[in-house]
Amino acid sequence: MKIFNRGKLKIISWCNAPEEDCLQQAANLSNFPFTFKHVALMPDTHTGYGMPIGGVVGLLGVISPNMVGVDIGCGMCAVKTSLQGDLRDKDLKDILSLIRRAIPVGFKHHKRDTLPDYDLLPALPQELVSCKETVLRREEKVLLEQLGTLGGGNHFIEIQRGSDGHIWFMLHSGSRNLGLQVANYYNKIAIRLNQRIAPQIPKEWQLAYLPLDSDEGVVYMQEMQYCLSFAAANRNVMAMRIKAAISEITAAQFLDEINIHHNYARMEKHFDTQLMVHRKGATSAFEGELGIIPGSQGTPSYIVRGKGNEQAFKSSSHGAGRKMGREEAKRRLNFEQEKRCLDDLGIIHSLRSVRSLDEAPSAYKDIDVVMEEQRDLVDIVLKLTPLAVIKG
């Protein structure tokens, strides 16, 4: 853990060497007039829009859409199966084939023949049913098409072997286009509102805010909460379909299940103060709370138990964290070398061409270093080694 003095409040970083742009964003948060106590950076932190990914802040009386992020409710789901040992390569390939048929990836949505049951869609909040000018009302006709879809970028489905001897599967996804639309809509409202109210935030900080007691702040909170429900349901529907695929090939039963967010804001009490805690690419790690910290493609992931470290606002990393931007990775990394490294691991991976180098292991930080840097935030419960990967 390191402390940086770059602004009004201190920056406490569990990343020992954060990039300069990331520190500058943290400094802006430190000078943000509603930030309480300090800014916390997790070991996977890197530059984001306005606020660093892997950043945690507690705000007094306001909420900031850019501090929540554009993929509201993005998170992880991990499921333990009764299967033990290894799966045959043919079984793995057959399971992946069934999953790909059942779950659209990238920009694809469901067609009529793969739509999930309407009952699996979270009900619209009563407060928003009568509102015509909300993102939810505008998008509700296409929500079912997006429910149970993976998305692109770093979203993935992975079949793993656990250190407990069991086969697990894990998936990473969020609220899809809905979260993006909600985030962008309310960030624009916040920018316009901030031009009329004090204190005004420098536009280049990209940290426009909404007072919690304003009409705009209230409706954003309601829409954000629905995005969280939708994201959790999205992962649940995909988990159901992955279970069906595994069951078609094996006699597996399904045991423990964890489903968590790592892009959201919620009211919590820290340092005897009620705060709107923003976790942007960070996992809640209250004492005894189970969490999921995935590695990059081809590296281990972890089930962890929180230690409730108050200095981190009871949080931990949400993954390994990028060390290269997507375009930088495509420019700098060698495709044949990256592919050979994954082939040598004996896993079924998703590195298919130069275009997929942005998700190569070398584009990410070393997960072992990330886990070492947060020993005072979480305990490792289980190590999960990848066997097969589907990338968005």
CB 158 within 8 Å of CB 388: yes
CB 31 within 8 Å of CB 10: no
Distance CA 172, CA 170 (A): 7
Residue 10: CB partners within 8 Å, gap ≥ 6?
A: 3, 4, 30, 38, 39
Residue 195: CB partners within 8 Å, gap ≥ 6?
A: none
Distance CA 37, CA 271 (A): 9
Distance CA 274, CA 265 (A): 13
SS3 80: strand
SS3 182: helix
Written as six digits, the tokens of 363 are 């584009």
How many residues are recorded in the chain? 392
List Cα–Cα distances, 26 to 30, 70, 248, 287, 294, in angstroms.
Answer: 6, 18, 48, 26, 24
Angle at 30 between CA 25 and CA 36, to 5 degrees: 135
Distance CA 41, CA 22 (A): 9
Written as six digits, the tokens of 389 are 């990967």
Residue 7: CB partners within 8 Å, gap ≥ 6?
A: 26, 27, 28, 29, 30, 31
Residue 139 neighbours by CB distance under 10 Å: 17
Catalytic site residue from 38, 46, 110, 318: 318
CB 15 within 8 Å of CB 44: yes
User: Which helix (H) or strand (E) is 191 found in, with range?
Assistant: helix 176-194
Distance CA 285, CA 314 (A): 5
Q: Answer yes or no: 318 catalytic.
A: yes
Catalytic residues: 318
